[in-house]
Amino acid sequence: MEAHRLMHLGKPPCALTSKENFKDGITNGAQWYVVPGGMQDWNYLKGNCMEITVEMGCYKFPKESELPKYWDLNREPLLVFMEKVHIGLKGFVSDTEGKMIGNATISVAGIDHDIHTSPSGDYWRLLLPGRYRITAFAKGFVLYQLIN
């Protein structure tokens, strides 16, 4: 949470008002400003892809001389963020003979967002650490459940 030495303080350097702050340096983007028809929702719902918008400065096009400062502040947080790709569930769905099953549905009990395997049978699902009831099913195959 504190990989960035300033962000976790929750005080944006170019806040529009003195009341603008973000708890732990993070905001729900839709609470900050709405982007109707944005790619983030579409990618999550249709592509099983998490997308974020990183707003790291006050200016869209900072001066070249300021770029090293941005790199120094954001290198470590970027590496920590990339490591988070391994949190959750990932694997393959195959039949009893080991043939991969594409477009199988992976369902997590209590979460209203199913994902589907790729054409080669692999899947990935970001989940916080914990115990989950996972179900995999595909047309013409027997249902399989796993408690992770």
Residues marked active site are found at 55
User: Which pair of structure tokens corresponds to residue 95?
Assistant: 């039949």
What separation in angstroms does the CA of 63 have from each of 36, 67, 80, 129?
30, 7, 26, 41
The DSSP secondary structure of the chain, one letter per residue, reads --SSTTGGG---TT-SSTT---GGG---HHHH---TT-HHHHHHHHH---------SS-SS--GGGHHHHHHHHHHHHHHHHHGGGSSEEEE-B-TTS-B-TT-EEEETT-S--EE--TTSEEEE---SS--EEEEE-TTS--EEEE-
